[in-house]
Amino acid sequence: MRNGEREITTPVSLTAPGGGLNPDAVGWTRRPLHDTSGIGSGDGLLPDVWGRNKRWEYWLVMTPTHLMSLTISDVDYASSHTVWVYEIPTRRRLDVTAIVPFARGSILPPSLKDGMRARGGSLSLGGRVREPGPGHMRAFIDSDDTGTRLRADGQAPARRGSAPGGIEKVRFDVVAHRAPNHESLGVVVPWSRERFQYTVKETALPASGWVELDGELIELPEGESWAILDHGRGRWPYKMEWNWGAASGWVSEPAGAERLAVGLQFGGKWTDGTGSRENAVTVDGRLYPIHEDITWDYEFGNWEAPWHLHSPSVDLRLEPIWDHDAVTDLGVLAMKAHQVFGYFTGTVIVDGRELVIDRMLGFAEDVRNRW
């Protein structure tokens, strides 16, 4: 089963007829080819499946001055939908989360290859997504003629007395533009026939649109705004740790050549021992997988210290500017994430040529879940 370095070039079902992992699905792709409609359905065919299904859409948008994100998820027993924004110059932030029991009201597409329509947010007692208000959030994802449209709004909870210096309300409407030849990294991670994950990571998608912070409308700067996707469908073990890092930006080749749109994508820990990797570089829309293990050197707990990611083809250092900490600990269920944003500097070797990365905005994260 451990043939994760095999490129898949034709459509394939993630699950077998009995509901477990289809061995033919294990490998990597340049475009979404996996049918994942078996995740979250037909679970009566397998014991101990309910509660192990995990489905999500995570989008990140980065500009030189602002970071913003939305997540729509369904993990069987609950949904955890989020909208957050961070203003780099002022260090102001806003995080709004909606935890919905049994994932009521969540809408996620069966498979990424079939297009995108996703919905999630705070729910009323009647099961409808709430209108904007204190402590509420909503998120919408839709396929667009030129890519994917991302819309979200969120508001801080009502407070007594004067509010601290922070962002109270956020709205954004952004399109992640996808050229017809733009490639993404799809990978199936096979922990076992019962536990497995299909992930799609897509970087260096040009973004346009606007974000509104407390009534101030800010247009995303053309040519300097990027979107990154993390799409997930699978059945997970109860306990898991992982590293993920990504970045997008421009790289100039020597001798004054035109700029290249480059996306970096690295992962670690959760793929160990499976034969699969999720390391790649995208250059002007072309995907170049890195079939090497990346070493992640960082000081756990000291999130302001530099990170070093390295392998025979990768030598990158991340200089942090902000730790997006998201910690929930309910004992049996716990999610502890530190997504450290900053600037990558160093080199990557792609198809025999060295690309010099100079202060490319991105992140590296340490996540430890019991879920």
- 177 contacts 197 by C-beta, under 8 angstroms: no
What whole-number distance in Å separates Cα of residue 119 and Cα of residue 81?
A: 9
pLDDT in tens, 6-26: 999 999 999 999 889 999 999
CB-CB contact of 58 with 51 (8 Å): no
On the question of pLDDT at 131 being above 80, the answer is: no
Map tokens 């369904």 to a residue: 74
Query: Is residue 85 very low, low, confident or very high in pLDDT (cuts 50, 70, 90)?
Result: very high
The per-residue pLDDT for range 219-239, each reduced to its tens digit, is: 999 999 999 999 999 999 989
- Helix or strand holding residue 70 (H, E): strand 66-74
Distance CA 8, CA 227 (A): 25
The answer to whether 99 and 76 have CB atoms below 8 angstroms apart is no
Give me 15's structure tokens. Answer: 């699950």
How does residue 3 score in pLDDT terms, banded at 50, 70 and 90? Answer: low
